[in-house]
Amino acid sequence: MADSHGKHAKHGVADEGPLARTALRFTSFTEKWLPDAFGFVLVGTFVVLLFGLVTGEPLLKRPDDPAATKGYGLIDGWGLGFWSLITFTLQMAMIIIGGYAVATSGPVARLITRLARIPQSPRTAVAFVAGVAMLASYLNWAFSLIFAAILAREVARNVPKADYRALGAMAFLGLGTVWAQGLSGSAALQVASASSSPAPVQEVIKASGHASGLIPLSDTIFTWQAIVATLIVYAVGVAMAWFIAPGEGNARTAQEIGIELKPLIGRGSQYNGKQGVDGEARRPGDWLEHSPLFSLLVVALGAVYLVRYFDGKSFFNALDLNTVNLILFLLAMLLHWRPWRMARAVRDGAPAAAGVLLQFPLYGGIFGMIAYTGVSARLAGWLVQASNQFLFPPLVAIYSCILGVFVPSGGSKWVIEAPYVLQAANELNVDAGWMVVVYDLGEASANLLQPFWMLPTLAILGLKARDIMGYTFTMFLACFPAALIAVTLLAPHVTG
């Protein structure tokens, strides 16, 4: 490590371009001052608590108190919210482990290995990972967290002089830019499905001119305006990744950080499909673990169910986290072929979910202090008072981004915000479908400012939040303004 510091002292950030200098200085600050992800949620809990107190929310209150206004006090809201994300927590843990199992299977590992050979220089390596990560997150955000992280590790192994921190930040970039505009975007899928959209939300949507109470994907993420906005953010993201990548003199490689990068396939890899210690058949009873028979039977069972589940339904509208998890599980079983390989992949992927299990309950508490008290409604009131038809879209994006730092769950947050955001849009004559797009762009940008969704990626990369958040903050300073400009300029083309 001493040689690393000596190298950086010799070259200095002055040798870099202005954007790379900015990213390096932010990274230097976050490495020194930013707490780990767990510390972030601990601090965030009391930031929201103090904000609620300052804005007039009571500390202790129940809605059955005849002298009290509607809603809970902050402490009761925290307690109610603490386990409110428990189902979501398990879904996320399974999606992380399932995505890991798929990404580390032989066929997918070979695909990642081939992709990782494309970039040849440190700068192209960083931009390449950013581009692939955003494309993957557009298809499915959960899989992209794992796929892009493993790709970043393999790219770092092939381009050893690339800055490993920058590669890690770019592996996460899709969750901070385009995921919510993609095929797994929470808000767009919710408003398109009667089973997912709460009745109050459907009533507000009916008032906006959608008689069914639903907004089809053709009116949200698949409008030309939404596609243009997404392409603008994508282009800005790839360009920024290119410019912020530090040169060799200031790069921190995986070796300098102390991270060993084993190949995905080939000699020294645990994913080469060969039987190691875990795969040795030592007794007749081991045949069950080594035969693909029951793996294929489980895959067939699941495939029949999925065919029946999707029959007569719109694929994307019917796709939810449980279905995604089942698809990942079946795909992992099929790709690993033999049960012992699947079991090993799950065991190896389980540590990546540890941060989710520890931190999601605390984020649920933050969610409760906002959702079950008057904090959320008060914020919405301020938003509407400060808006007009022209300013409402960018203000909603900003509001969604700020709230997303403290309630980093797009689907849950949308359920709370949708009634008053869409009602305000109706009053200001702003298209409801466009507000879903605007909300999603703002909500995604929040992920670049807090480490909630970084946890799976960080676990696979062996990094801490403070290692990459200087880079993600720099990306935020470019990508979020690009989104604001896009939604502001495109809004006149979709207002009702």
Distance CA 475, CA 478 (A): 5
pLDDT in tens, 366-392: 888 887 888 877 776 777 777 777 888
pLDDT at 253: 93
Q: Which of 81-90, 127-136, 175-184, 281-290 has the lowest mean pLDDT?
A: 281-290
Average pLDDT over residues 290-299: 92
Q: Which two tokens stand for residue 85?
A: 């994300």
Q: Which two tokens stand for residue 248?
A: 């060799």
* Banded pLDDT at 313 (limits 50, 70, 90): confident
* Banded pLDDT at 277 (limits 50, 70, 90): very low
* Banded pLDDT at 410 (limits 50, 70, 90): low
* Banded pLDDT at 8 (limits 50, 70, 90): very low
Distance CA 406, CA 89 (A): 16
Query: Which residue's structure tokens are 């502001």?
Result: 488
pLDDT at 120: 94
Of these ranges, 260-264, 358-362, 412-416, the one predicted with the greatest mean pLDDT is: 358-362
pLDDT in tens, 449-479: 988 888 888 888 999 999 999 999 999 999 9
**What mean pLDDT is reported for the chain?**
84
Burial 279-312 (b: 16+ CB within 10 A, else e): eeeeeeeeeebbeeeebeebbeebeeeeeeeeee
* Banded pLDDT at 250 (limits 50, 70, 90): confident
Average pLDDT over residues 340-368: 87
Average pLDDT over residues 207-225: 88
Average pLDDT over residues 65-80: 75
Distance CA 98, CA 102 (A): 6
pLDDT more than 70, % of the chain: 86
Comparing CA positions, the residue from 496, 493, 495 lying closest to residue 228 is 493
CB 327 within 8 A of CB 320: no
Contacts of 103-107 spanning 24+ positions with Cβ under 8 A:
103/143, 103/146, 103/147, 103/150, 104/150, 104/264, 104/271, 104/345, 104/348, 104/349, 105/271, 105/332, 105/335, 105/336, 105/341, 105/345, 106/265, 106/271, 106/272, 106/273, 106/335, 106/336, 107/335
CB 97 within 8 A of CB 346: yes
Which residue ranges make up each domain of the chain? Answer: 18-261+288-490
Comparing CA positions, the residue from 122, 366, 149, 346 lying closest to residue 251 is 122
